[in-house]
Structure 1
Amino acid sequence: MLVNLNEVLIKARKEGYGVPAFDCTEDVLIRTILDTAEEKKSPVILMALEHDLKGKGIDYITSLVKGVADKYDIPIVLHLDHATNFEIIEKAIDYGFTSVMYDGSMLPIEENIANTKRVVEMAHPKNVTVEAELGHVAGKEIDGSYAGETMLTEPDEVLKFVNETKVDALAVSIGTAHGVYVSAPELNIDRLIEINKISPVPLVLHGGSGTPIDQVQESIKNGISKINLYADLRIAMFKGLKVSAKSHDRVDPLPDQLYKPIRDALRETIIDKMEMVFSENKGI
């Protein structure tokens, strides 16, 4: 069943677990994530990026997710991740996304506040939740470009930002990075503790892939309620693809045979992530 962020994150924050949020675009990803989430009775957030919606991408993604969501007895959020284009955000809302993220993290705080308020004013009347980012999580973007320098979230800016924007969730920068890590991060849990005491809304950890499990779990225990994951799924898909390519002698393998190693590798990774964030049996 389709829900918005408030319907999963408020409960997660109260009960001390995280909700896994997976970027995904194709049937192999979406179906495997949803089937595994239902098996583990976990709430789940399906995310798409701006470039995934170009052309007919938005039609494929929304038609697929909206078409199957009611067949699953778990909470499912359809979320637009890291958006900066107001037209795309408005289109996603109109097409049935239940949540959107406006990313003004590279802007001066007053501009970030003004733009985020504009998105909230578009979304809230349609029961669509809004996530924003304060501070900046660096690393590499999906296209391989550099995502700028990390800027840790300043605790004394959190209350002002949330109160003025009326966002429903806040992504914070405490030491993670997007993409694949060159070296293991060291999360600033003390800063997270300070932010969590101040924030009226659930907190989000971007760059969850590759972050040591103990650090992710420590962040959940200290206020993180949504954990973004994508690189680990891409790694799993590639692992499964290599197995599939080596395991078929026929030039025309059946689709189920062709995709099975990919789905198996994905399922294993997804289960690992759900166990990591303590979300199993929380979607009942």
Structure 2
Amino acid sequence: MLKNLNDVLRDAKDKCYAVPAFDCVEDIMIRCILDTSEEEKSPVILMALEHNLKGRSMDYISGFIKFAAELYRIPVVLHLDHATNLDLIESAIDHGFTSVMYDGSSLPFDDNVKITRDVVEMAHRKGVSVEAELGHVGGFTIDGKSEESKLTDPDEVVKFVSETNVDALAVSIGTTHGVYISEPNLNIKRLSEIRERCSVPLVLHGGSGTPVEQVQNAVKHGITKVNLYADLRIAMNNGLKEAASKIKRIDPYPDEMFAPMKKLLSNVIRDKIRMLNSNNRIEYIK
């Protein structure tokens, strides 16, 4: 069933767990995420990035997830991740996305506030929730560019949330996007200071590769949504390699090609759900 962020993050905030948010493309990823999440009785957030929604992909991904979500008993959020293009955000809302993220984290504070507020007003009119980012989570982007991180300033949080009316806030506390070059060290003290000042659910980007104990400590101190993507891509790549090493036929059956990928992908999804303690939660979400 389709929900928005407010429907799933309130319970997570109250009960101190986090909801997994998986960036996904194509039906294999979507089905593995939904099947595994239902097996684990976990709410789930399915996300799409700007560059994955070009051409007919907006229609395909939104249509596929909207249809599939109604086949499952778990709450499913259809979320636009890291969008900076306002036309794309409006299009996503029109296509049935139940949640959007406007990422103004590279802009000056006042500009981030102004544009985020405009997005919130547009989205809330359609019952769509909005996530924003304050501070900046760096790392390697999809196109290979490297960006520096900037930790979220706790003193800016109250003003930002008050002036934008966002539903969730992504914060920068030491994670990065992509694959880590060295092990991160999350700033839990900074997170606690933000939590004390912030009334809305907090989001951790760059969850892939972050040590489990650090993620769980962040959840303990207020994180209610964790974004994950690179670990899923790694699992799929390993599944492809395993299939290629075993296939002997020149015309392999689909199960031979996709079964290893599905198995490894589902294992990662299940591990992330249990890491965030979001399994066995759907009975509490109205």
Q: Assess same fold via TM > 0.5.
A: yes
1:145 aligns with 2:159: no
Paired with 1:70 and 1:118, the residues of 2 have a C-alpha distance of 30
Which residue of 1 is the match for residue 210 of structure 2? 211
Deviations 1:1-36 (A, max 9, x none): 000000000110100000000000110100000000
* Equivalent AA in structure 1 for residue 71 of structure 2: K
2:101 matched to which residue of 1?
101
Runs of 4 or more consecutive aligned structure 1 residues displaced over 3 Å after TM superposition: none
TM-aligned CA deviation for residue 209 of structure 1: 0.3
Report 1:147-226 matches (<5 A): 148-226=147-225
Amino acid in the other structure paired with 1:178: H
The equivalent of 1:17 in structure 2 is: 17
Q: Give the Cα separation in 2 of the matches to 1:187 and 1:248.
A: 42
SS at match of 1:9: helix
- C-alpha distance in 2 between matches for 1:205 and 1:52: 21
State the AA in 2 paired with 1:41.
K
Pairing 1:63-142 to 2, within 5 Å after superposition:
63-142=63-142
Mapped to 1, the partners of 2:106 and 2:253 lie a distance apart of: 47
- Provide the rounded CA distance (Å) in 2 between the counterparts of 1:42 and 1:253: 34
Query: How do 1:197-276 residues align onto structure 2 when only pairs under 5 Å count?
Result: 197-276=196-275
Mean CA deviation greater in 244-253 or 27-36: 244-253
Secondary structure, counterpart of 1:36 in structure 2:
helix
Displacement of 1:247: 1.3
Computed over aligned residues only, the root mean square deviation of the Cα atoms, in angstroms, reads 0.6
Residue number in structure 1 paired with 2:51: 51
Q: Structure 2 CA distance, aligned partners of 1:218 and 1:248?
A: 42
- Identity in percent: 62
Determine the C-alpha separation between the residues in 2 that align with 1:256 and 1:59: 27
**Which amino acid in 2 is paired with 1:88?**
L
What's the CA shift for 1:133? Answer: 0.1
Tell me the distance in 2 between the aligned counterparts of 1:150 and 1:104: 14
Q: Secondary structure at the match of 1:178?
A: coil
SS in 1 for 2:70: helix
Who is 1:27 aligned against?
27
Greater displacement, 252-261 / 12-21: 252-261
Q: Give the distance between the partners of 1:241 and 1:272, measured in 2 at CA.
A: 20
TM-score between the two structures when normalised by the length of structure 1: 0.99
TM-score norm. by structure 2 comes to 0.98
Q: CA deviation at 1:261?
A: 0.4
Structure 2 unaligned regions, length at least 5: none
Post-superposition shift, 1:251? Answer: 1.2
1:138-170 CA-partner distances (Å, limit 9, x unpaired) = 100112112x21110000100100000000000
Residue aligned with 1:126, SS: coil
| 1:256 CA displacement | 2.2
* Matched AA of 2:198: S
Q: Mind listing any 5+ residue stretches in structure 1 that lack a counterpart?
A: none
Aligned partner letter, 1:52: N
Stretch moving more, 248-257 or 52-61: 248-257
Which residue identity does 1:32 align to in structure 2? C
Partner Cα distance (1:58, 1:270) in 2: 24
Q: How far did 1:283 drift?
A: 2.0
Letter in 1 for 2:279: E
- Deviation, 1:122, is 0.9
SS at match of 2:133: strand
